Amino acid sequence: MTKPEVLAPVGDMERLKAAIRFGADAVYLGSTEYGMRAASANFGMDDLKAAVQYAHERGVRVYLTCNTLPNNREMERLEEFLQNAAGCGVDAFIVSDIGVLTTAKKAAPQVEIHISTQAGIVNAVTATEFYKMGAKRVVLARELSLEDIRYIRDHTPPELEIEVFVHGAMCMSFSGRCLLSNYMAHRDANRGECAQPCRWGYYLVEEKRLDQPMPIMENEQGTYILNAKDLCMLEYIDKVIEAGATSLKIEGRAKSSYYVSVVTNAYRIGVDSYLESPQNWKLEPWLMDEVRKVSHRDYSTGFYFGRPQEGQRYDTGGYIRNCDIVAIVDCWKDGVAYCTQKNKFFAGDKVELLEPGKRPVEIAITELYNEEGEAIEDTRHAHMKFSFPFKTPVAEGTIIRKDV
């Protein structure tokens, strides 16, 4: 069996290092133009070159998002942009527009073409035609079932790679091609500027009673009628792989390095455990606990098992958050863990240590010391350096977190 790729999202260098540390085979990111996350930090060309070098030194591939729908003025700059990006060493361009695809083939023929989910590929004929046009990979629409994916795999050239989303936020519109943000906030979702009005609460007004808004009751609990639950297929990795997916994609380029670390770690361990024993694989329950320890909406399995029966959450548009990162381990030496603070916590608090590739371990940190070696009661200063005694060696980048 070909080893399926765990593909992680990154928005800056911190998140790139986190994704690689916690087991990503490849990462996808955006530059300053043509990507679907205009609000993310993203990478200028100098940063992109450094990111690619860092990833390649560690055997990790880098895919650049170029999946907006550019207008005429933006197309004029595209060829130079793609040439510069290719010079940084990216492994693939993720595109959705046919004009961008043909320009990429001309500007940088050595760089792979991956067709974005924005292209809305839902059948084998379309996937095959993109392959004939030069695509190495297609990212299928999120609205497909496992049976649909299996059919596409069985009826497309075996050399064509198939990528699917397995985790993260879902769009209420087909494959993210939405105009609601344009109408509501004058921000074009197809240029990476979505204001996410699907997450807002709404009221209904009658034309002669504009001052008497009424809640829209999708059911007795609420009004967030467009608010999709997050996708999570961690428990069904076996079914996704067996359907023919080449790459398992995690959504979240705008999310934190903590999110990237925890979710990538969970899917890395889940995929590896499946490959070790595919015949009788079952996910270890603690891994599902892991993906509940990041900020998330209620989870669902999206369209994988057919039309979602409970794919929306109507009572709130917010996130569930029950765990906070409080520090990152910089290094361990002679029985002492040296750390950088991320959030305040106190000596005596029970925390969890999450090392890359491992199950979390609960400990109580009873002693804290500042950078000068003086005893302290808490880590109150942002990004302060501190240490605590710990007999067991612990890896660089280990996450320290606590319940909230």
- Rounded to the nearest 5°, which phi and psi values hold at 212? -125, 65
pLDDT at 292: 94
**Mean pLDDT value across the chain:** 90
What gap in Å lies between CA 175 and CA 66, rounded to an integer? 16
CATH 3.40.50.10860 fits 5-173+229-300, yes or no: no
Q: If you average pLDDT over residues 129-153, what whole number do you get? A: 97
Q: Where along the chain do its domains lie?
A: 5-173+229-300, 323-403
Q: Any alpha helices (H) in 108-256, and if so which ranges?
A: 124-132, 146-154, 180-185, 237-242
Tell me the per-residue pLDDT of 3-57, one tens digit each, with 9 for 90 and over.
899 999 999 999 999 999 999 999 999 998 887 666 556 799 999 999 999 999 9
pLDDT at 222: 47
Tell whether the model's pLDDT for residue 267 goes beyond 90: yes
- Note the pTM of the prediction, 2 decimals: 0.88
Given a contact cutoff of 8 angstroms between Cβ atoms, the answer to whether 148 and 120 are in contact is no
Q: Token digits for 179?
A: 């105009």
232 contacts: CB under 8 Å, gap ≥ 6: 166, 167, 291, 299, 300, 301
Residue 311 gets which letter from DSSP?
Answer: -
Between 208 and 175, the higher pLDDT residue = 208
Tell me the per-residue pLDDT of 154-166, one tens digit each, with 9 for 90 and over.
999 999 999 999 9
3-class DSSP assignment, residue 338: strand
3-class DSSP assignment, residue 157: coil
- As a CATH number, domain 323-403 is 2.40.30.10
**Apex 140 CA angle, 314 and 270, nearest 5:** 75
Tell me the per-residue pLDDT of 295-340, one tens digit each, with 9 for 90 and over.
988 889 999 998 876 766 656 667 788 999 999 999 999 999 999 9
Given a contact cutoff of 8 angstroms between Cβ atoms, the answer to whether 348 and 365 are in contact is yes
